[in-house]
Amino acid sequence: MPKVLEFKLPDLGEGLTEAEIVRWLVAVGDVVAVDQPVVEVETAKAMVEVPCPYGGVVTARFGEEGAELPVGAPLLTVAVGPPQAAEAAGDRAVESRVREAAAGPSEHSEGSGNVLVGYGTGAATARRRGRIRPAVPFAAPAPVGAAGPAPVAAPAAAVASAPAGAPGPVPVISPLVRRLAREHGLDLRALQGTGPDGLILRADVESAMKAPAAPAPAPALTTGSAASGRAASTAVGERIALRGIRGAVADKLSRSRTEIPDATCWVDADATELMAARAAMNAAGGPKVSVLALLARICTAALARFPELNSTVDLAAREIVRLPEVHLGFAAQTERGLVVPVVRDAHTRSVDSLGAELARLTEASRTGTLTPGELTGGTFTLNNYGVFGVDGSTPIINHPEAAMLGVGRIIPKPWVYEGELAVRQVVQLSLTFDHRVCDGGTAGGFLRHVADCVEHPAVLLRSL
């Protein structure tokens, strides 16, 4: 019989520990080729198509669409091996399907050479991870003309055992489901699972969470108390799980406010000349120059003068680490939530190069095709919240960076220009910085240089 190999959810990089199944790209009984994408998952950072390192016939899938799986959990099992093995076993259906697979691991090659972060399919990786054992017995696909595809096999021995004295085992596969129930004080033994063989799914736990709570008993009167006892009332509201991008943002912002002693300074700047310079550049032909690209170039020029703000703090070593490259993050609002794509080596780019990369990353943000690598590794963040029609804000630093520049909307305002009152295009600039890496003088100097470049774009010529 063909050998059955188990493919587990790989480490998708940057410390991610779980992912949500968005869409299965294959069904049980399908033939897959080496490196063929088999499932689309959503992490806290991006949507990723996961390729399978084995070629053969899919015999089982683990997890429904919408379910969250931890890294290392089984994704699917694949029957692989030489067709002769299937022929010797008399299984013609499997033989033909295995023959259709583009490639199967041999004695010298356990899979493809293409890998995602954290998992490899070569022999060296196989030696590191040990022998892979199938989680379920091989089940041949349904023959042609059958009522439907073979049912998805549930993993044996994937059920959590109940505590001693409990009426029986608790049918739960996912540790995330167990953790969710534990955090909300739910007894899994009291829930009825809707999955195969009574398996308790995340949806079952969330339904139990939304169920009205039993009324709390009235507290006993305290001796000598003049107040009358009243039954405590618990407000029941909608519960929204902090998961995916929203959960990742919550964790990062909480960590930022917990670890970083931040301070904010701000200044109003006359952006009339900057807007005029942009209009002149666009009138000259070539790619259109965005305001964001100009601000990004101004940021890199200011960071060259004040490198303290392009740094991070190593708490374990009690050291400030000044970084040689500027990887500029910029905040982008999408239907999936706030993301911060990163422009690599922004300090080496011209305005046109910055504009092209900003446009590419913005489009990838909207379509949900950003990779984890394009969402990590930033050293400084530019946040243009003026697109939301607001003037100012106090940005929260994108941990573990040391600073963030916030830019409000650019609008006509009364302004004293050359000794006279005039209507000018004014913008508010806000800098939030880590007070451990510098003092107010450095932060103020950085912000003032940014404002000077906004008011007099020719100042940038000194930095070119």
Helix (H) / strand (E) element for 205: namely: helix 202-210
Distance CA 455, CA 453 (A): 5
Per the listing, tokens 């890496």 go with 437
Beta carbons of 309 and 433 less than 8 angstroms apart? yes
* Beta bridge mates, 74: 8
Rg (CA), the chain: 29
Active site residues: 435
Say if CB 328 and CB 382 are below 8 A apart. yes
Structure tokens of 140? Answer: 């041949």
* CA-closest candidate to residue 140, choices 228, 233, 292, 31: 31
| The amino acid at 414 | P
- Cα–Cα dist 19/22, whole Å: 9
Task: Return the structure tokens found at 294.
Answer: 């100009």
CA torsion, ordered 304, 306, 312, 317, to nearest 10 deg:
110
CA–CA separation, 52 vs 103, rounded Å? 12
Integer Cα distance of 383 and 333 in angstroms? 10
- Backbone φ and ψ of 440, nearest 5°: -60, -30
Spatial CB neighbours of 338, under 8 Å, sequence gap ≥ 6? 245, 249, 331, 332
Q: How many residues does the chain have?
A: 464
Calculate the CA dihedral of residues 301, 306, 310, 311 and round it to 10 degrees. Answer: 170
Is 28 within 8 Å of 58 (Cβ atoms)? yes
**DSSP symbols for 157-185:** T-SBPPPTT-SS-B-B--HHHHHHHHHTT
